[in-house]
Structure formats: structure tokens, C-alpha cells
Structure 1
Amino acid sequence: MATLRTALVGFGYAGQTFHAPLIAATAGLELACIVSSNAGKVRQYWGEDVAFTPDINMVLADPDIDLVVIATPNDTHADLTQRALLAGKHVVVDKPFTVTLEEAKALATLEKQTGRILSIFHNRRWDSDFLTLSRLIKDGTLGRVTQFESHFDRFRPVPRDRWRERASVPGAGLWYDLGPHILDQALCLFGRPVDLWADIGTQRPGGGATDYFHAILRYADGLRVILHGSMLTADSALRFAVHGDSGSFVKHGLDSQEDMLKAGLTPGCHSWGWDPRPGQLTRVDANGTITATNHTGMPGDYRCYYVGVVNAIRGLQPNPVTASQAITVMEMIEAGVQSALTEHTVKL
């Protein structure tokens, strides 16, 4: 089948670090053009191998462009996705899908009207630790899960001068940046909760965007899902602490792929996606005997997302991350904001 010529819109951190190398490394995709206002940066990384334009209209009018990947600031996602769909392009948009639930629903309707594929880049479904944990839950190793704790913490006491950390930018702040990752993972594992409570705030001085969140999702069977993110956690290694009636799984350290990409390594290279820090699996047998072992788990691979996009466009498999799935994430995002503002639990 013909290679899908792909235009990447935006060459900031997400475009440069994640999308460009993953597109280039995925069979069936060609990184044909980058839309950015920073020609020097594009040429520094890609030379003359990839076409460059500062004008997205040139991409949207080009009949040879099949797929448009949007990796721009969050408050531009809805407009650019709408324009690309109306131009007849398939679209990948970085998370969060949009800034508001209303925008997300409108784009899902437009996807159906245009007959194009609209997919959202929830790449953390292909983290090594998440794939490992998913298998442990699915095969019953932990028994019935009663508590799921997911952390995405960092230590950056001084805010950076970028749109993600400016209070004046719609969709900025940690809840919109890292919240979608761990909300999507929780929804993949356990589905929609009964209700949600969230505390979202700003802890660093300077009046920047929110840099802290702590959310609790409650389920009818008693399960509690705890989601936490902070920019002021010096001991930020904890990733998962999951407990069931047959055992626990505790994992420290993030998936290695982002660091590999930042180092300029090619996706799929030696040791790609292998996690250097195994989790600890603690099990309790029928006699009450407790055993604790290191559990290395499965390798991660973000390329699987783009392979899924290629196959979905070719009609070979379902969309790897659908608009309806991302809409549910947006519902959780808005419920969290409402809960934090009202200081009440929000029914879903």
C-alpha cells in the first residue's frame, strides 16, 4: 500500500521529541513536511530531508498530504483539527484532545461527517510499566484490585518560561499536561468511575499555571483510583502502587522512551523501551504466604500507536485511540476542574 505522506504541525517539545522521530521510524509513514515558525530549528534536526513551511494553509491545500499531526499549544488543537478534517486529511492530535469537552464532541461529529480518521496521541498506553501492569491485572495476578495509585511527579522548583506553565494560556497547567496521561491509563484499566474528587492548585511562587493535582476516582465495587502530580516532589520516583486481594505491584521510575528520544536515539534501537528499573511484585498465596520478587515486565514502544494509525487509515484495524475515548478523558478533566473549584465530589 502507498506510504502515507505526513505533515507535522508544530516543532516544540512534543513535535521535536516525540512525533517527528516516531513518524520517521514508522513503516507506512513519510515525514513529508514540518509546519513551524522556526526554520532554523527544523533545519538543525532534519536538514533538507524534510520540507518546511511556516504556513499551514499550504499543507491543507496539498493533495499529496494524507495525514496531519498536530503538536501545537493546547488551545489551538480544536481549530487546527477542524481545518484539517475539513480539508480531507486524516488527523492525529496530541493530548489533551482539546481544551473543552464541547470542542471535543464537535470534532468527533466532524470526524464522522468527513469520513476521516481522527486519533489522539495517548502514547502512555505503550509505556513499559503500564503494559506490564495491564497484564498483571488482566491475568488476575493481583486478584481483585482495590487501590490503584498513579504518580507523575517532577522536581522543578523554578517555573519555565513556556506556554504550558503560564496561567493566562487556556489549557495550560499540570492537570491538562500530565493529567490526560494518567486519566487515560486509569480509564483503560477500569472504565468510568462513579464520581471524582480533585484538588488542583499552584504551589510554586510567581503566579504561574497550576502545578499540583491530587484526584480520587471512586468505583461502585469499592475500588479507589488515586492520581497525583506535582512539580515540587524531590523524591519523584514512585510511578505505580497497585494493591489487590492477592498481591501488590509497586513500580519506581518512568518509562525509558522519552529519555531515549531526548537523547536522539532512534526508535527501535537496541534496548528500546526496556525499563531499567523492575517493579516489585508481592503475592499472597492461599496459605497466606507472602513472596516478593522483582518483575521486569514488558518493553514499551510508542511506535505501536503510529502503526495502529496507519492500519486504521488503511482499514485494517480499529483506530488505536478514538475521539470517543478522548472525550471521556476530557469529561474527567472538566470534572476535576469543577471539583477543585467547588471543593465537592462530582458525580459522573
Structure 2
Amino acid sequence: MTGLRVGLVGYGDAGRGIHARLLREVGHVVTDTVTRHPARIAAAREDWAGVRVHPDLDGLLGRARELDVVVVASPSGNHLEHTRAVLGAGLPVVVDKPLAVDALQARELVVTAERAGVPLTVFQNRRWDDEQRTLRGLLERGELGRVHRFERRWERWRPVPKDRWKENAVGEGGGLLLDLGSHLVDSAVQLFGPVRTVHAEIRNLTTPADDDVFLALVHAGGVISHLSASGLCGAPGPRTRVLGDQGAYLVTSFEGEPTPFEGLAAPAGHEGWLVQGTSLTAVPRPPGGHADFYRQVGRWVAAGAPAPVDPGDAVHVAEVLDA
């Protein structure tokens, strides 16, 4: 399959650091991007020969006939406006999570796409995390038995916080609830189904937007999920712990973040441990990775394959975060 011609809205931490990197890995080409920041303009021109840099989305959409898909990687508070415009231009669109800042806006975008007949998907790349793929395999094989609790933590020690829109945009998409909570809730729902009840504890300790979040979810099937995200955690807990009546799955670290559990790092080629009391068995890591999302985008756009993420899932995630 020939690589897609991609318009990328935003060329910052998400646009350049995540999307552009994965797009290049699978052979897609960023032909157009939207940014006004001088350093980001220079970075885009360095990264992509002949890239067209536009100061606004209207400029990019003026070249719609030369694009196959648009990726919206702008701040979350702009997702509604930007995605509406791309859908109005009739272009398939990938929206970085969260799809929108609340369920009302997310639902509007899904309905707009359906009525216009324009493909829409959401970048929930954490479905392709090593631990998520490994855990799905364990569940499918029934190795944990009947699961009753799922725990996942995204805890960091950042006593001096970063100074970005994510830390400061109160009410406009900033904060850990929308940023990391979107990933955490999506992961839980993908594994254990729709959520029936929600308990939340949300605080802002060091930043204007929330930076300390705990969610307790009860899934329709009875599993309870405990999800946490924090920027002020001097002793991060184990990344993932899943409890079943035949054993548990334990992952102690995540993407090189500092952890007090370094002695429990799984051996090469493995992801976490199957635990039964004092018995620990390293679990082999299945093949795959985040780039698989954009491989599926290629098949979705070029051949009408299923979307890598059903946008309706993003609506349910937003409903949970709104609760």
C-alpha cells in the first residue's frame, strides 16, 4: 500500500513527538501541517522535505484535494472546532484523545461524521501498549480466571511541574483527568466493558489544572477498576495489577519512568508477571506496538477497513470522565 498524504494539525509534543514519528515509521508522509511557532515550523521543514506549513487550518483545508487524511493534534480545547472543519471538508480525520472536552461535544462530532458520511477515528494509542496487548492475551486464554479487580496507575514524581497548556488550560481541555484519564478509562473499558458507576477524587496540587486523579469504576460485568494519575507521587505504585481467582498479573514499571520496583523488572522479551502467591512467571510479550494504529489507518482510508478505534468508544469514555 502506498503511504497516505497526511495533513497534521499541530506540530508540538503530540504532533511531532508522537504522530509524526509513528506516521513516518509506517510509511505515511506529512505533506501539510498547521503551526505558527517559529521553532516548530523549522522542525517540520527539517523533518519532511517539501512540507507545506500553514498558519491556520483554513490554509491546510484549502489543499484538501491533495490530502488523504487529516490528524488533529491541537490542544484538546480546539478539537471540536478543528474536527468540525475537517469533517466539513469531507476528509477522513484522526483526532488525538480526548475526542472532545466532554461527552456532549464528543457525541456531536460522532453524529456529524455519521451524517456527512466522513470517516472519523480517535487516537487511543495506549490500546497498543505492550502491557495492554499482553494482558488481553492472558484474559483471552483465561489464565487469571474470573477477574474481580483491575488497577492501573500513571504516577510520576514531578514536584516542579511542566508549564504547558496541559497544566494550565482550566476548563479548556487541560489537566490529568482528560489527558491521562482518557487513556486509563479507555483501557479499562476495552478490557472489561461498559461502566455502570463512577467515583472520582480530583485535585490540583501543583498546577492550575487537575494533577491528581483517582477513579473507581464498576463495570457492567462486575469488575471494579481503580485508576490513578498523579504528578506528585514520590513513590509510584506498580503500573498494573489485575486480580483474578486463578492468579494476578503484575507490571511494575512503565516506559522508563522511575520506580521503586526495579528489582521486579521482567526479563527481555517479557511484559510483567503472572503471580500466584510467591510464584512469579514472566509473561512473554506479543508482537505489535503503537505504529499498528497507523497501519490500520492506512487500510481504513485506502481500503475501507474498520476504523482502528470506534469513535463511539470515545463518547463512552467522555461520559465516564464527565460523571
TM-score where L is the length of structure 1: 0.84
Q: Secondary structure at the match of 1:214?
A: strand
Q: Does 1:242 find its partner at 2:230? A: no
CA distance in 2, matches of 1:33, 1:328: 32
Shift of 1:69: 0.5
Task: Tell me, in whole angstroms, the C-alpha distance in 1 between the residues paired with 2:287 and 2:255.
Answer: 9
TM-superposed CA distance for 1:299, in Å, is 4.3
CA shift for structure 1 position 238: 1.7
Report the residue type matching 1:19 in the other structure: H
Which among 92, 101, 104 is matched to residue 102 of structure 1? Answer: 104
- Equivalent position of 2:212 in the other structure: 212
| 3-state DSSP of counterpart to 2:78 | helix
C-alpha contact 1:129 1:275 (8 A) present in aligned 2: no
Residue pair 1:66, 1:90 contacting (<8 A) in 2 also? yes
Alignment of 1:198-277 (within 5 A): 198-204=200-206, 208-236=208-236, 238-255=238-255
Q: CA deviation at 1:278?
A: 3.8
Q: Which residue number in structure 2 is paired with residue 40 of structure 1?
A: 39
1:306 matched to which residue of 2?
294
Structure 1 alignment gaps of length 5 or more: 259-273, 285-289, 336-348
SS of 1:279 mapped into structure 2 = strand
Q: 8 Å contact 2:249–2:274 — kept in the other structure?
A: yes
SS in 1 for 2:199: strand
Q: 1:296 Cα shift?
A: 3.9
1:60 correspondence with 2:61: yes
Alpha-carbon offset, residue 255 of structure 1: 4.1
Partner of 1:270: none
Instruction: Tell me, yes or no, if structure 1 residue 319 matches structure 2 residue 307.
Output: yes
Structure 1 segment 121-200 matched on structure 2, within 5 A: 121-166=123-168, 168-200=170-202
Secondary structure, counterpart of 2:242 in structure 1: strand
Inter-partner Cα distance in structure 2 for 1:291 and 1:44: 50
Runs (5+) with no aligned partner, structure 2: 258-266
112-121 or 80-89, which moves further after superposition? Answer: 112-121
CA distance in structure 1 between the partners assigned to 2:220 and 2:44 by the alignment: 50
Matched, 1:30 2:32: no
In structure 2, what residue type is equivalent to 1:37?
R
Q: CA deviation at 1:311?
A: 1.0
Kindly provide the CA deviation profile for residues 235-283 of structure 1, in whole angstroms up to 9, marking residues without a partner as x: 2262101110000111011147x9xxxxxxxxxxxxxxx9777412114
Could you say what secondary structure the match of 1:68 adopts? strand
Q: Residues 45 and 238 of structure 1: is their aligned pair in 2 closer, same or farther, counting only changes over 3 Å? A: farther
Residues 275 and 44 of structure 1: is their aligned pair in 2 closer, same or farther, counting only changes over 3 Å?
farther
Between 153-162 and 143-152, the greater mean CA deviation after superposition: 153-162
Is this contact kept in 2: 1:255–1:300, CA < 8 A?
no
Distance 1:67 1:219 in 2: 35
Contact 1:150–1:226 (Cα < 8 Å) also in 2: yes
Residues 87 and 116 in structure 2, CA contact (< 8 A), matched pair in contact too? yes
Task: Give the 3 Å change call, closer, same or farther, for CA 71–236 of structure 1 in structure 2.
Answer: same
Task: Tell me how far apart the structure 2 counterparts of residues 168 and 45 of structure 1 sit (CA, whole Å).
Answer: 29
**Matched letter for residue 160 of structure 1:** K
Q: Greater shift after overlay, 120-129 or 55-64?
A: 55-64
Q: Is the 8 A contact 1:93 1:121 kept in 2?
A: yes
Match of 1:281 among 274, 277, 283: 274
Taking the aligned partners of 1:292 and 1:104, their CA distance within structure 2 comes to 42
In structure 1, how many angstroms separate the alpha carbons of the residues matched to 2:153 and 2:270?
Answer: 16
Mapped contact 2:240–2:251 kept (Cα < 8 A): yes
Deviation at 1:115, TM superposition (A): 1.7
Matched to 2:214, the amino acid is H
SS of residue matched to 1:238: coil
Name the residue aligned to 1:11.
11
Q: Give CA deviations for 1:202-258 in whole Å, capped at 9, x if unaligned.
A: 122xx51111111111135542110011111122262101110000111011147x9
SS of residue paired to 1:44: helix
Residues 222 and 57 from structure 1, CA distance in 2 versus in 1: closer, same or farther, beyond 3 angstroms?
A: closer
Q: Return the TM-score normalized by structure 2.
A: 0.90
